[in-house]
Structure 1
Amino acid sequence: MNAEIELKLFFQLEQQQTLVNLLDSLPNSEQKACRKLTNGYFETPDLQLRKWDMGLRVRGYDGHREQTIKTAGSVIGGIHSRPEYNVDIEQDVPNLHLFPKEIWPQPANISAVQSQLTCLFDTDFDRRTWHIYVDESLIEVALDIGQVSVTRDGETKSEPICELEFELMAGKTAALIELGSKVAESVAVRLGKASKAQRGYRLAAQSSPLSLDVLKFIELETEQDLKLTLISLLSSGIERWQQLEAMILESCLHDIEQLPFLCYRLRACVRLLRCTLEQFNLLNDQHIARFDCIEAHLDFVEIGLSLTEILSQNSQLIAKLSCKKQLESQTRKALASLAIPCLFNKMLADTCYGSLQLGLVEILFGVRDGEVSVNIQTELMVFADRMQEASWQKIVGLMPSESDLTSKEYQSLARALDDSIFVGVAYGELYAKESRDVFRAPWQDLVLGIRTLAAYRKLREISLALGVDISDWLQNKEASLIFAMEQSRRTALKNQPYWR
C-alpha cells in the first residue's frame, strides 16, 4: 500500500511547452521517461465502489498492466492524500480478489461486485515526468496531456486533460507547495480539485450536478485555539473557491445567467480569505497585489448582477411594465455582450490567480506545521468579539443614524457592508443563533436593497438606449426602496450587537 501525497494543478494546453522548458531549467531537475498511459475505470451498475469512496482502474503502459484501487482520502488546501493499492496483472479486467482483504468494508460480497464490473470511462494521456529535488525533498512532477472519454451507444464524449501533478516521493509536504508556487509565478496554473476519476464519473453522467450551498457560517468551536481557527478559515475558503470555480466553468457552457451570481460568490470567497489574512496579520504586499489583481478581473460582477436581477424570477422587477419584452430582450443582449466566460478565462490565464491560490496553501500548511506562527495571544471568543466590534464600529462610522443616505451613497458602501458581513460569516457560528440572526437580518436586507438599487440604475441606462421613458416609474420605485432601507438601517443601528 502506498499513500500518495500530491499537489495537482490545471493549465491550458498552449502552456505545455512553456511548462516543459521551465521544469527542464529548474535546479536539481532530471527529466525521466515519457509514456503513453491508457486507463480504464471500472464500476458496477449501482456504483458500489463510488459508494465506498473507492476508485478502481487498470493502467496500461509499455506492454505492462497494473490494477489500482484508491480508498478514501482527503484534500486539504489542494493537497491530495489518498491510500492506493497496486497489483501487476496480465488481463484487461481487474481482479478484486488480488487486493488485500482488509481494505473492503464489512460485510461486502466482493465476488458479487467482481461479477458486475464494467469499464465506465477511460483516461488516456501522455505523461512526461521529472524528478526534482527541493532541498532534501524529492518530488516527482508529471505533466499529463490527453483526454477523459466515455463511449455509450456508439457515441463518444470527451474532455481534455491538461494537468501537472507534484507527488512527494520523500521529504516534506511544504516542498510540494514551494515547487508549485515557483511554477505558478511563471505559468498560469490553478489548483486542481477534481481527480481524473471524478471528471470521468461526471462525464459519464454518474455524478450529481455541481452545487454548493451559500455559505452562512464557517464551523468553529468555542474551545479551539486561534491556530486551529485560522486553519479552518483558510481551508474552508480555499475549498469553496475551487468548487465555485468548477461551477462557473460548467455554467460557462450551459447557463450564462447563473454566471454573475456564481462569480459574486467566488469574489466573496476571495474577499473572506483576504479579510482572514488581515485579521491574523498575515497580509503582505505581495498578497495585496494578487488580491487586487483578482478584484480587477472581477469588476464585471456588479454589472452582471444588475442585469440578472432584472431578468430574475421571470423578470418580476419589470413584470408590470408594458415595455417588459423590449427591456428583457435588451437586458439579455447586454448580458451576452458582457462576455463573462471570456473575462473569467482571462482571469484564469493571469499568473496572479494561481499564485494567490498557492500562496494561501503555503500559509495554510505553514500554520499547520508550525512554520507560520499565529502571534496573537488571546482566546478565540475574545478575538471574535474584537473582530466583530471593529467591523461594527466601521459601519456605524460610515452609516450614522442621523444622516440620510442616497442611492449613490448606499452603493458606495456596498464593499464595506460586504466585508462586515464576512466577519459575521467567519465567527457567527460561535454565538447564540437567535440573537445573532435577528441582528444580521436587516443588514443582509440592506445588501439586497443595494443590489436592487444598482439594478434600477442599469434599467435606466437600458431604457434610455431603447428610447423608452420609464423615468417616473423608476424614480418612484427607487424612492420607495430607499425609504424602506432607511427605516431598516435606523432600526438595525439600534439593535444590541450579539457579541457584547
Structure 2
Amino acid sequence: MNAEIELKLFFHLEQQQVLIELLDSLPDSEQKACRKLSNAYFDTPDLQLRRWDMGLRVRGCNGKREQTIKTAGTVIGGIHSRPEYNIDIDINEPKLNLFPKNIWPNTANIAAVQSRLACLFDTDFERRTWHIYVDESLVEVALDIGKVSVSREGEIKSEPICELEFELMAGKTGALIDLGLKVAETIPVRLGKASKAQRGYRLAAQSSPLSLEVLEFIALEPGQDLKQTLISLLSTGLERWQQLEAMILETDAYSLKQEPMLCYRLRACVRLLRCTLGQFNLLSESLVAKFDAIEGHLGFVETGLSLAEILSQNCQLIARQPQKAKLAEQALSSLQQLSISSLMQKMLADTGYGSLQLSLVDLLFAIRAGESRVNFNINAKTDLKTFADQLQESSWQKILALMPSEADLSSREYKSFARALDDSIFVGVAYGELYTKQSRDMFRAPWQDLVLGIRTLAAYRQLAQIGESLDIDISDWLQSKEESLVFAMEHSRRSALSNQPYWR
C-alpha cells in the first residue's frame, strides 16, 4: 500500500512547451521516460465503489497492466492524500479478490460487487515525468496531456486532460508547494481539485452536478484554539473557491443568467479569505497586491448582477412596463456582450491567480506545521468565543459609524456602503456557528435584506442606462421605484440598528 501525497495544477495546452523548458531548467531536475497510459475505470451500475469513496482502475502501459484501487483520503488546500493499492495483472478486467481484505467495509459482499463491475469511462494520456530535488525532498512531477472519454450508445463524449501533478516521493510536503509556486510565477495555473476519476464520473453523468447554493456558515467548534480555527477557515475558503471556479467553467451546465451570481459567490469566497487573513494579521503586501488583482478582474460582477436581476423571475422587476419586451431584450444583449466567460478566462490567464491560490496553500501548511514565519500577533490564551465576539463587535461599530440611526441615507450612499456590509456579513459567515441559531439569524436577516436592496438599486441604475440607450423615457417610473425602495430600506435599517447584537 502506498499513500499518495500530491498537488495537482491545471494549465492551458499552449503553455506546454514553456512548462517543459521550465521543469528541465530547474536545479536538480532529471527528466524521466515519456509514457502513454491507458486507463479504464470500473464501478457497478449503482456506483457501489463510489459510495464507499473508492476508485478502481486498470492501467495499461507498454504491454503491461496494473489494477489500482484508491480508498478514502483527504484534500486540504489542494494537497491530495489518498491510500492506494497497486497489483500487476495480465487481463483487462480487475479482480477485487487480489486486493487486501482489510480495505473493504465489514459488510461488503465483494463477490457480488465483482459480478456487476463495468467500465464507466476511460482516460488516455501521455505522461512526461521529472524527478526534482527540493533541498532534502524528492518530488516526482508528471505532465499529463490527453483526454477523459465516455462511450454510450455509440456516442463518445470527451474532455481534455491538461494537468501537472507533483507527488512527494520523500521528504516534506512543503516541497510540492515550493515547486508549484515556481511554476505559477511563470505560467497561468489553477489548483486542481477534481481528480481524473471525478471528472470521468461527471462526464458519464454518474455523479451529481457541482453545487454550492450559498456561503454557508463555516463549521467551527467553540473549544478549538485559534490556530485550528484559522486552518478551518482557510481550508474551507480554498475548497469553496475551487468548487465555484469549477462550476463557472462548466459552461454547458449553467445558463447565461446564472453566471453573474456564481462569479459573485466566487468573489465572496476570495473576500472571505482576505478578511480572515486580516483578522489574524497575516495580510502581507504581496498578498494584498494579489487579492487586489483578482478584485480588478472581477469588477464586472456588479454589472452582471444588475442585468441578471432585471432578467430574473420572468423579468418581474419590469413586469408592468409597457416597453418590457424591449428593455428585457436589451438587458439580455448587454449581458451577452459582457462576455463573462471571456472575462473569467482572462482572470485565469493572469499568473497572479494561481500564485495567490498556491500562496494561500503555502500559508495554510506553514500554519499546520507551526512554522516560525507565521506569527498571528494575537494572544495565544484568547479563546475562540472571545476572539469571535471581539471581531463581531469591531465590525458592528464600523457599521454604526457608517450608518448612524439618526442619519437619512440616500441611494448613492447605500451603494458606497455595499463593501462594508459585505465584510460585516463575512465575519458572521466565519463565526456564526458559534452562536444560537435563532438569535443569530434574526439579527442578520434585515442586514441581508439591505444587501438585496442595494442590489436592486443597482439594477434600477442599469435600467436607466438601458432606457437611455433605447430612447425610452422611464426616468419618472425609476425615480418613484427607487424612492419607495430606499424608504423601505431606511425602515429596515433603523429596525436592524435597534436589535440587540447576538454576540453580547
Task: Note if contact 1:395-1:416 (Cα within 8 Å) is conserved in structure 2.
Answer: yes
Unaligned runs of 5+ in 1: none
Residue matched to 2:108? 108
Question: Could you tell me which of 473, 481, 488 is aligned with 2:485?
Answer: 481
1:313-366 deviation per Cα after TM superposition (whole angstroms, max 9, x unaligned): 111101111111111111100000000000001101101110000011111111
1:254, CA displacement in angstroms? 4.3
User: 2:159 aligned with 1:159, yes or no?
Assistant: yes
Look up the match of 2:461.
Answer: 457
Deviations, residues 45-93 of structure 1 (Å, cap 9, x unaligned): 1111111111110101111110000011111110001100000011111
The whole-number CA distance in structure 1 between the counterparts of 2:117 and 2:497 is 63
Instruction: Report the CA distance between 1:491 and its aligned residue.
Output: 1.6
Distance 1:154-1:252 versus aligned 2 partners, 3 A rule: closer
* Equivalent residue letter for 2:352: C
Q: Which amino acid aligns with 2:240?
A: R
1:493 Cα deviation after fit = 1.5
Per-residue deviation, 1:252: 6.0
Alignment partners' CA distance in 2, 1:220 and 1:89: 46
Q: Distance in 2 between matches of 1:334 and 1:253?
A: 21
User: 2: CA distance between counterparts of 1:276 and 1:252?
Assistant: 33
Matched-pair contact (CA < 8 Å) for 2:215–2:265: no
* Superposed counterparts of 1:67-86, under 5 Å: 67-86=67-86
Matched, 1:55 2:55: yes
Shift in Å, 1:374: 3.5
Residue equivalent to 1:368: 368
Contact 2:144 2:164 in 1 (8 A): yes
Q: For the Cα contact (< 8 Å) 1:252–1:341, is it kept in 2?
A: no
Note if 1:408 corresponds to 2:412. Answer: yes
Displaced runs of 4 or more, over 4 A:
none
Q: How does 1:413-432 map to 2 (within 5 A)?
A: 413-432=417-436
Greater shift after overlay, 133-142 or 490-499? 490-499
Distance 2:416 2:441 in 1: 25
CA distance in 2, matches of 1:479, 1:98: 73
- Secondary structure class of the residue paired with 2:250: helix
Q: How far apart, CA to CA, are the structure 1 residues paired with 2:31 and 2:318? A: 62
1:70, 1:475 → 2: CA distance?
61
> For 2:185 and 2:252, how far apart are their aligned partners in 1?
26
Counterpart of 1:176 in structure 2: which amino acid?
Answer: L
TM-fit CA distance, 1:143: 0.4
Residue of structure 2 equivalent to 1:40? 40
2:2 is matched with 2
What residue is the counterpart of 1:121 in the other structure? Answer: 121
What's the TM-score once normalised by structure 2's chain length? 0.98
Alpha-carbon shift at residue 499 of structure 1 (Å): 1.3
User: Partner residue of 1:287?
Assistant: 287
**Distance of 1:216 and 1:60 partners within structure 2:** 43
SS at match of 1:149: strand
Match of 1:133 in 2: 133
User: TM-score w.r.t. structure 1 length?
Assistant: 0.99
Shift of 1:238: 0.2
Counterpart amino acid of residue 134 in structure 1:
V
State the identity %: 75
For residues 458 and 272 of structure 1, what CA distance do their matches in structure 2 show?
27
Letter in 1 for 2:79: I
- Displacement, 1:253? 6.2
Aligned length: 500
Q: Helix, strand or coil: the match of 2:394?
A: helix
In the TM superposition, residue 251 of structure 1 has moved relative to its aligned partner by 3.2
What is the alpha-carbon distance in structure 1 between the residues aligned to residue 393 and residue 26 of structure 2? 48
Structure 1 counterpart of 2:275: 275
